[in-house]
Structure 1
Amino acid sequence: MNYLVKINAVKTTNELEDAWSNEDYKALLARFEYPDAAQLKPAELKEYLFLAISDFEPHEAAAILLDYKCSDQLVDGQIDNLSHEMLRTKTFENYSEIDLHHDLFNINQLLYSAYNGKFPLGTVNLVEMEIKGDDNVEELTKETALKALSYGLSENNLINRLLSDQIEGHKAFPEAEGIVWELQHKGDDVYTLTISEKWLTKTEITNPEYECTVVPFEEHQEAN
């Protein structure tokens, strides 16, 4: 399908809004052994959670958060290894399971704030873009949005270097679900795409407005 794409803005941030709800904070306060979370005002929850977290060793706190957020995808040994690795490296960029990067980023940033920088600082980009296709009825998926976005990026961009076969439709592209953390429809043809700086930096956007053709994997297979 053919698309008209216009990249309107890129906002870099260290913390994603609504990554943690008040219910998350209350549940975590209980896990960090704070006894009176129910008595706290909503505006106090995050501050008291940071205080509760700081009573634990950094790797212990990381393990508690990993268990809370990722226990359905990680076994105890993986949680233990990651809880130590998070202090040394950007696991939200480098961990082998791309689908976990979004959760690992949110965990890391909570720990970064609670421990005043003992954990690596992470950054993500919020890309506001207009994407208009030939068929406006079709729902825009993360895969389609990422493929369309790739045509505005430099050849040296990691997506274009490592995943060119997927971008061109020669291979299936399950990685898109983990690379694009969120795809929010803002109305009309405007979307906001959340993506780690590992995959996209502002300087790699070389063409902010263009036309492109996105070829789905199944369609490419039929053509061959």
Structure 2
Amino acid sequence: VLAAMLMISAYQVFTYISRQRSRGDVDLQELQGARHAINYLRRDFRSATPQIADAATLAQKRKALRMPIVEASSFSIGNEAVPVLISDGEIHFFKHLYDTPDGVSRPATEQVNYRIDSAHKCLVRSVAGVDTVFKDIKDAKFELYAHPLNPALPMLLVTLRINADQKDDKTGDYKFFEMTTTISSAITSPFINNPYWHIAQD
């Protein structure tokens, strides 16, 4: 049933895009820019994880792993246990690096930030002091999402907005086209599916 629903949804999206393209309402370059941004988001968020310091208390560890992804209006790196933080126009998280050297007990992580630059109307990805700008993304919305088939598994719901080809005849503004997708983290899922992770430490 889920597979059928996904196929129907994908068919509806691509049918709509094809119809808009035939009318000249979607710029192919900006559509490609949106797909490029989504690919970056998927690669980053698939290994998103709470950042838990060695000095964190057991209570802090329990809370971070019980609620690895939370909605928040502000981000603070001062906590000993930092979950994945999602706000309306910005997300902060740490991700595992797959090139961690052999023999290292804890995987290396790096901090990732996606945010909308309202002044320049673009999406910005910041990692290790390096910014990647997605100029085709004019606005974005990030939300915490729970799928009805597995509401215990938190997902990131992303909505990206790009300009369409044509401007509104009355206002002179561009029409917008939105792309929406959901992304889950392969690392946070086991934390929730195994609620007894902490027993060995009690």
> TM over 0.5: same fold?
no
Which structure has more strand as a fraction of its residues? Answer: 2
- Which one has more relative contact order, counting CA pairs under 8 Å at least 6 apart? 1
Scaled by the length of structure 1, what TM-score is found?
Answer: 0.24
Question: Greater share of helix residues, 1 or 2?
Answer: 1
TM-score by length of structure 2 reads 0.26
